Amino acid sequence: MANGKTIIAYDESAVQTLDALHHIRLRTGMYIGRIGDGSNPVDGIYVMLKEIIDNSIDEYIMGNGRKVDINREGNTIAVRDYGRGIPLGKVVDCVSEINTGAKYNDDVFQFSVGLNGVGTKAVNALSAEFEVISYRDGAFKRAQFARGELVKESAGKAPSERNGTFIRFTPDPEIFEDYAWREEFVEHRLRYYAYLNAGLSLVYNGQIFQSKAGLVDLLGEEIGVEQVVYNGPHFKNERLEFTFTHTHAYGEKHFSFVNGQHTSDGGTHLSAFREGVLKGINEFAKKSFAGEDVREGLIGAVAVRVQDPVFESQTKNKLGSTEVRGWIVQLVKEQVVLWLHKEPEAAESLIEKIRLNERVRKELSSIKKEAKERAKKVAIRIPKLIDCKTHYSDEAPKHEKDDRRHETLIFITEGDSAGGAMVQSRDVHTQAIFSLKGKPLNCHGLERDAIYKNEELYNIMRALGIEDDLDGLRYNKVVIATDADVDGMHIRNLLLTFFLRYFEELVSKGHVYILETPLFRVRNKKETLYCYSEAERDRASEKIKGPEITRFKGLGEIGPSEFGQFIGRKMRLVQVTARSLSAVSKTLDFFMGKNTPERRQFIIDNLIADVV
């Protein structure tokens, strides 16, 4: 013992060597990102599904098989493609031995996403049950696994089966605990596969996903009934596909892909695409339009196929390959110039939109300046902000282990009482708090200058570092922490309206969350349970003898000693997601717009009367 701590000997016995299977199960996050419970589209179970379907897509890209069947029964997913099938003598190795596969051979797979020889093996290791069957030339090979360990294998003839691969897996509850698949996340992923692989059919539990126009169909779904300024270009060759247009929405939005993989964080291909569009427009117009004027209101999609792409992580959310920049910029520029010459009416509408953006930016610039001067007169520091020591926009520290930028978050709370408990129980290094003075402005339908003239909303922008754009975002997570009552829900909706209307990219890039806090405390002298629903309260009441039940009416009623656990490691956060731009517009119009007869009827039909 030294200073009350037990000293563990660091000798040969302390050094461990894990085989690949146990390493995947012990360090799951290294292979599939976050584990989660299925409530978020980037949770591990969806990454597992992606890894399996990616192999089928690779077959299609190489010209083998035009259909993929996907079926789900309970927590078990089965995927059947009609490609070449895994070579029968290598079936077991290809799904269980790390760094084994044909993705290293460019002649066999030229534009592969699953290039690391890890994906299917990780799915196998993280599944309670895993089965693979390969069909080739009238014969088959089957292998069954349990948590990555081979249980049974067999082989034989299958003259009636078409070539291809069948994989069935059930994510292991020992790893993922209480998880559940959400249909909308699966269907969203399958729609993207269809858009990126025009001509491919994906059949999920009988529902068919397919696309004829590729990325044009993707933008069509995202935009919906929103009015576009012009019908944009659509270019496609073996290596590059892109399309774009302008809408009357604020900000810019892009969908970028590499070898069929959605790169939600962009990367070098997206930067090159944006640069090529700007250069093409400026060359055609013989002007030097600012990038921000060209991109305001722009929505675009770009997909590239690259041999041996370099991603910044195993989850492949951001492309790091620098060699793609030059040819993408040049090709996009040439095609944009060509399209503008071919479509004079669209070209005129585009140039007029850019000039309008330029005028609005200059007008807004003076309003921003006035807002900043006004804020300086009130206070040098941002009112109601209790800041943390680390920020998302900080430079990376020298040592990776000291990098806590991705842990940073800001709680936007309802008044000082809720913020008070948080101040005393927060992590001062990564957790900031901004307390609202009251209900913020309903900014739906207002022009952008309104949010700079409103003191509360402008202070939120200052606190987040997004007065000009999202490049200065100071916190990775923006957490709305309001009471679970009518006023709290109203404030939550007002804040979501503000973010979705003016900073939609903040939501689409996964930065906005809702904090879940307990509604009830059920306890006796020996045990205390916190419940987040009436059903949880009822179960807790049956479990604890002679319980005392407390209903929390607001966050301010929870003391600092209790609050720490609700914003600590076991904090419950619900990520705010938007299915599409059109869905956002319709929802905001309905709930935050004028009081229409349809909304009044909706309120009447869904009114719940509290019985005290």
CA distance 130 to 152: 11
* Beta strands at 139-146 and 477-481: parallel, antiparallel or unpaired: unpaired
pLDDT at residue 107, rounded to an integer: 47
pLDDT digits (tens, 9 = 90+) for 486-512: 888 889 999 999 999 899 889 888 899
The secondary structure of residue 470, as a DSSP letter, is G
pLDDT at residue 108, rounded to an integer: 44
Sign of CA dihedral 34, 35, 36, 38: positive
Q: What is the largest CA-CA distance in the chain?
A: 83
Among 160, 204, 211, 166, CA closest to 69:
204
pLDDT digits (tens, 9 = 90+) for 322-377: 899 999 999 999 999 999 999 999 999 999 999 999 998 888 888 877 777 776 66
pLDDT at residue 575, rounded to an integer: 87
Which residues partner with 240 through β-bridges?
304
pLDDT digits (tens, 9 = 90+) for 342-355: 999 999 999 999 99
pLDDT at residue 562, rounded to an integer: 78
pLDDT digits (tens, 9 = 90+) for 229-251: 999 999 999 899 999 999 988 88
Span 28-40, average pLDDT: 81
Domain with CATH 3.40.50.670 in the chain: 380-396+403-517+566-579
Domain with CATH 3.30.230.10 in the chain: 215-358
Q: Please check whether residue 262 is in contact with residue 318, taking contact to mean a CB–CB distance below 8 angstroms.
A: no
Structure tokens at 548: 């005392």
What percent of the chain is modeled with pLDDT above 90? 46
Q: Return all residues near 507 (Cβ < 8 A) that are at least 6 apart.
A: 499, 500, 576, 577, 578
Element housing 29 (H / E)? helix 29-32
Q: Return all residues near 442 (Cβ < 8 A) that are at least 6 apart.
A: 494, 497, 592
CA distance 394 to 551: 41
Q: Distance from CA of residue 352 to its chain's centroid? A: 33
End-to-end CA gap in the chain: 58
Among 258, 214, 253, CA closest to 581:
253
CA distance 590 to 305: 41
**Range 21-209 classified under CATH 3.40.50.170:** no
pLDDT digits (tens, 9 = 90+) for 424-459: 889 999 999 999 988 899 998 888 888 988 999 999
Highest mean pLDDT: which of 66-70, 108-112, 404-408, 559-563? Answer: 66-70
Query: Which of the four pLDDT bands, split at 50, 70 and 90, describes residue 260?
Result: confident
Query: What is the residue-averaged pLDDT of the chain?
Result: 86
Span 571-581, average pLDDT: 82
CA distance 490 to 474: 26
Work out the angle at residue 593's Cα, subtended by the Cα atoms of residues 587 and 596, and round it to the nearest 5 degrees: 100
Q: Provide the 3-class DSSP secondary structure of residue 534.
A: helix
Which residues partner with 550 through β-bridges?
521
- Lowest-pLDDT range of 39-43, 150-154, 196-200: 39-43
Is the predicted pLDDT of residue 36 greater than 70, yes or no? yes
CA distance 234 to 243: 5
Is the predicted pLDDT of residue 109 greater than 50, yes or no? no
Architecture (CATH level 2) of domain 215-358:
2-Layer Sandwich (3.30)
Is the predicted pLDDT of residue 399 greater than 90, yes or no? no
- The one-letter amino acid code at 227 reads Q
- Lowest-pLDDT range of 6-20, 30-44, 195-209, 591-605: 6-20
CA distance 174 to 156: 34
Q: Which of the four CATH numbers 3.40.50.670, 3.40.1010.20, 1.10.357.10, 3.90.1570.10 does domain 380-396+403-517+566-579 have?
A: 3.40.50.670
- Lowest-pLDDT range of 91-105, 141-155, 504-518: 91-105
